[in-house]
Amino acid sequence: MPKQIHLAAHFPGVNNTTVWSDPEAGSHIEFSSFVKLAQTAERAKFDFFFLAEGLRLREQGGQIYDLDVVGRPDTFTVLAALAAVTTHLGLAGTINSTFNEPYEVARQFASLDHLSDGRAAWNVVTSWDAFTGENFRRGGFLAEQDRYSRATQFLETAKELFASVPAPEDFLRDPAAGTFAHKDDHFDIAGRFNVPRSPQGRPVILQAGDSDAGREFAAATADAIFSRHGTLAEGQAFYADVKGRLPRYGRERDELLVLPAATFVLGDTENEAQEKARIVRRQQVSGATAIKFLEQLWNRDLSSYDPDGPLPSVDPDVSDNHIARGRASVRMHRDPIAVATEWRARAEAEKLSIRELIIEVTGRQNFIGTPDSVATSINELVQADASDGFILVPHVTPGGLDEFAGKVVPLLQERGVFRTDYEGPTLRDHLGLRVPE
Amino acid sequence: MAQPLHLAVALDGAGWHPAAWRTAEARPAELFTAGYWADLVREAESGTLDFVTIEDSFGREARLDAVLIAARVAPLTSRIGLVPTATVTHTEPFHISKALATLDYVSTGRAGWRVQLSARPEEAAHFGRRAVPGIQEHFDEAADFVEVVRRLWDSWEDDAEIRDAATGRFIDREKLHYIDFDGKYFSVKGPSITPRPPQGQPPVTALAHADIPYAFATGSADLVYVTPAGVDDARQIVAKVSSLPHVFADLVVFLEDSEQAARDAKARLDELAGSPYTSDASIFTGTPSQLADLLLTWQEAGLTGFRLRPGRLPADLEAITRGLVPELRQRGAFRKEYEASTLRGLLGLTRPANRYRQEAPVA
């Protein structure tokens, strides 16, 4: 039997992948949008629905960034409500380990797991910046180098709480059930965890770090890891790397799934799909957006530049970042001057304007083609161990998954690489993961 | 004809009597399922009650997170208000604000909040971050917490999302506001990540038994639950909180077809528990008709409504919706159908203006 593919639906995010100007684009806040995407994913037998989170609105040049979707609901609350309108779909959300406490988060996930009959998943993220900290009691208390140690101990503590409790009736009958005491560098807590054991034992743990520390954290603790490596070569390298770290923790290869995020554009012919993809890219990168992207590398105000003109001749400002705050991709360029030089050379050689250049160098769609060719590509990547499946990111809310669900999923099912129905009720069942002791 | 009363029910586990889960009818294994809670809230909605509250705490008693229970039942109900308990002592105002705003979205305007302080050392030990503060300081901090939550709810003006294709702007950032709260206990910058909720400000409620909490409630809440021992006591308490639009009295209720049967039912539970049940609120044992008499008498003290705590669930809830409610309706003292689609609407509260909204200057 060929390797089975896992698929998840990412609710479109607050970044320029999401095309809010599309005439079909709906609300990012009204519950009906979440219902629509989740029910589409469940009809297509997806493994889970995924909701990201950011705890401060992004800013650029000292002002709230206004060109992308802004605003999102509370992760836990939406997932709990979605449990009422779905029956099998996993419900995954990002929850930060820096601006929360283990007892509270463990209660919320155990509650969600009960209220969804075993469908909860937690994407554990860390942040450390004082910018986000300004929204919280403790401020920016955590040094960047301590974020993984806090995240690791946060998760270990939560797992201890999940493991400390028996099933509901035993919990009610035994006043001593659920008692715990935990002390480490970050947490010193004791008492009784007050949510009885949930259907999955604990939520499925997801992790998205790409750094060496992030990969190690995932290998040690996660059930699945997100990645940005959706191509064959990069995917295989990442896959081999993280799976290779598992034996160190006494874990088997199938105990950590690798699930890259992926975008897609479908057409009736290859040419039509390519043409649609080109249009989507232009929607995603407007002239104004291109200037903002350029500012993030240049670390300067470039608002006077014409997006249809050439790149700035001035070099990036390599002092501390003061342009863009609160976004994950900020300053991922470790050597801005070298990147700028490379971009200028490319723009000159290919006669690209600022906007055209940004369209070329920022994220392209992963899968572009007919339903048949996209199904083939996805399956080849999974069978070649470049991934165990994909987190699909539609670019239109909430209907952006409809075409994939209606046209690509049946082809994967025909080829025997994707389920035609759910085999069990819990997310662990869908992902082939054991219930922890 | 009596003035219409407002009625809420306080849901907690198998009922407020600590032995309620031990009775033959109780199904303790189901207390942690969505179906159990959905059945209770639908029952309350069938009686056109204003809202349900859902108890919660960080203490040792087994409980699911109340905000998540409310969110889970929101799509299964359409009119009844959903008022979960959320604790302010060990939590982040930023998280609580967006959670309640989101509950308001998923329930299309039916969210409320019961503010709770956590004073027990055992709860503080679950967080390991701080000792329990002194009482005045504790309530001062709670007032700051509610202020921050309210400011965050207003930190987006209602029409901040513009989706202006011509300029490429999704929002008008002039309509988003830093709240810049800088208090004695914490500071919060804002704005919220979640737009202003449908009700603008979901109703804030608090239980109070003494002067410091009364002052907290009048300064921070829209509705206060009080625990009078009788009608005279109620009159004295109402005088202290009369600036609030709503004062509800809490009552624990055991309801049967005869007064004797109700007393017997409570006595059986007391026996299972090993001691007589006592409560901060008055305990009523009797028939739905007797309870209607009592509520209408107490109402004369200036109470606008009652929050009934069923001793046993679902038995005493069903006695409320199927016994008490018809009795009150017959006396013209309770609604026959829902007259509004939001919780503020049911409570007769208008949608408040946004504190950050600046009217355009007159030319």
Per-residue pLDDT tens for B309-331? 999 999 999 999 999 999 999 99
Query: Which amino acid, one-letter code, is at A270?
Result: E
Q: How far is A192 from chain B (nearest CA, A)?
A: 6
Contacts of B61 in chain A (CB under 8 A): 194
Q: Report the residue of chain B nearest A95, measured CA to CA.
A: B95
The two structure tokens encoding residue B52: 């349900």
**ipTM value greater than 0.90:** yes
CA distance, residue B38 to nearest chain A CA (Å): 10
Chain A residues whose beta carbon lies within 8 Å of the beta carbon of residue B60: 175, 178, 191-192, 194
Strands B169-171 and B161-164, sheet pairing: antiparallel
CA distance A214 to A219: 9
- Side chain identity at B44, as an amino acid letter? A
Which chain A residues contact residue B91 at CB under 8 A?
104
Query: Which residues of B belong to the annotated binding site for FMN?
Result: 56, 85
SS3 state at A234 = helix
B360 or B358, higher pLDDT: B358
Q: Are strands A59-60 and A63-64 parallel, antiparallel or unpaired?
A: antiparallel
pLDDT of residue A41: 98
Angle at A60 between CA A147 and CA A290, to 5 degrees: 110
- What residue of B is the nearest CA neighbor of A116? B34
DSSP A325: E
Note whether A398 and A364 are within 8 A (CB).
no
Q: Is B163 on the interface with A (CB under 8 A)?
A: yes
Contact list in A for residue B173 (CB cut-off 8 A) is 63-64, 66
Among the partner-chain residues A84, A114, A192, the one whose CB lies closest to the CB of B33 is A114
- Residue B307 Cα distances to A88, B83, B280, angstroms: 36, 12, 13
| Distance to chain A for B95, nearest Cα, Å | 8
To the nearest whole angstrom, how far is the Cα of B91 from the nearest Cα of chain A?
8
A1 alpha-carbon distance from chain centroid: 29
Q: How many CB atoms lie within 10 A of CB B330?
A: 11
Q: Closest CB to B72: pick one of A56, A80, A137.
A: A80
For residue B341, the tally of other CB atoms under 10 A from its CB is 13
Q: Which of A99, A188, A192 sits opposite B92 (nearest CB)?
A: A99
For B274-289, b/e burial (b = at least 16 CB within 10 A) is eeebeeebbbbbbbbb
Separation CA A42–CA A47 (nearest Å): 8
From the candidates B42, B65, B181, which should be mutated to test the interface with A, based on the most A CB atoms within 10 A? Answer: B65
Note the pLDDT of residue A321: 75
φ/ψ of B122, rounded to 5, equals: -65, -30
How do the domains of chain A map onto residue ranges? Answer: 6-267+365-431, 286-361
Q: Which of B208, B67, B225 is nearest to B135 (CA)?
A: B208
Rg (CA), chain A: 22
Q: Which amino acid belongs to residue B131? A: A
Contact A83 B72 (CB under 8 A): yes
Q: Return the CATH class of domain A6-267+365-431.
A: alpha beta
In whole angstroms, give the CA distance from residue A325 to residue A134.
12
**pLDDT tens profile A165-214:** 999 989 988 988 889 999 999 999 999 999 999 999 999 999 987 889 88
What residues pair up with A191 in beta bridges, in sequence order?
A180
Q: Which residue of B has its CA nearest to A166?
A: B62
Among A103, A135, A178, beta carbon nearest to B189:
A135
Decide if B165 is inside a domain. no
Measured CA to CA, the distance from residue A273 to residue A365 in angstroms comes to 11
Strand, helix or coil at A317? coil
How far is A158 from A151, CA to CA, in rounded Å?
10
Mean pLDDT computed over every residue of chain B: 96
Side-chain half-sphere CA neighbours of A361 within 13 A:
21
Could you tell me which residues are beta bridge partners of residue B9? Answer: B52, B308
Domain-located, residue B103: yes
Is A66–B171 a contact, with Cβ atoms under 8 angstroms apart? Answer: yes
Task: Tell me how far apart the alpha carbons of residues B8 and B223 are, in angstroms, rounded to a whole number.
Answer: 12
Burial of A23 (0-12, 13-18, 19+ CB in 10 A): exposed
In a domain, B150, yes or no: no
Other beta carbons within 10 angstroms of residue A130's beta carbon come to 11
d(CA A323, CA A420): 48
Binding site, annotated residues of A:
94, 148, 211
Once rounded to an integer, what is the mean pLDDT over residues B74-94?
98
Q: Which amino acid is at A106?
A: A
User: Can you give the length of chain B in residues?
Assistant: 363
Which residues of chain B have a CB within 8 Å of the CB of A81? 71-72, 74-75, 106
Q: Assess whether pLDDT exceeds 60 at residue B363.
A: no
Domain CATH for B99: 3.20.20.30
Give the closest-approach CA distance of A108 to chain B in angstroms.
6
Q: Are strands A389-392 and A6-10 parallel, antiparallel or unpaired?
A: parallel
Q: B262 in helix, strand or coil?
A: helix
Does residue B163 form part of some domain? Answer: no
Looking at the complex, report in whole angstroms how far the Cα of residue A358 sits from the nearest Cα belonging to chain B.
Answer: 17
Q: Are residues A107 and B176, on separate chains, in Cβ contact within 8 Å? A: no
Given a cut of 70, whether residue B349 has pLDDT beyond it is yes
Exposed e or buried b for every residue in A178-207, given b needs 16+ CB within 10 A?
bebebeeebbebebbbbbbbbbbbbbbbbb
* Rounded distance between C-alpha atoms, residue B207 and residue B223, angstroms: 9
Residues facing residue B251 across a β-bridge:
B282, B308
- Dihedral pair phi/psi, residue A191, rounded to 5°: 145, -135
Number of domains in chain B: 1
CB atoms within 10 A of CB A253: 12
Scored b (16 or more CB within 10 A) or e, A333-344 reads beebeebbeebb
CB contact under 8 A, A81 and B193: no
Task: Residue B356: name the closest of B225, B210, B173 by CA.
Answer: B173
Residue B95 CB neighbour total at 10 angstroms: 25
CB neighbour list of residue A334: distance below 8 Å, 6 or more residues apart: none
pLDDT string in tens for chain A (437-residue length): 899 999 999 999 999 999 999 999 999 999 999 999 999 999 999 999 999 999 999 999 899 999 999 999 999 999 999 999 999 999 999 999 999 999 999 999 999 999 999 999 999 998 878 999 999 999 989 988 888 899 999 999 999 999 999 999 899 889 888 899 999 999 999 999 999 999 999 999 999 878 898 899 999 999 999 998 888 999 999 999 999 999 999 999 999 999 999 999 999 999 999 999 999 999 999 999 999 999 999 999 999 999 999 999 999 998 877 788 876 554 456 788 999 999 999 999 999 999 999 999 987 789 999 999 999 999 999 999 999 999 999 999 999 999 999 999 999 999 999 999 999 999 999 999 988 87
Domain limits at B22? 6-121+197-346
Burial class (CB in 10 A: 0-12, 13-18, 19+), B239: exposed
The pLDDT of residue A330 is 46
Q: What is the model's pLDDT at position B1?
A: 46
Distance CA A348, CA A107 (A): 56
The dihedral of CA B139, B145, B146, B148: what is its sign? positive
* Closest partner CB to B28 (pick from A84, A85, A168): A168
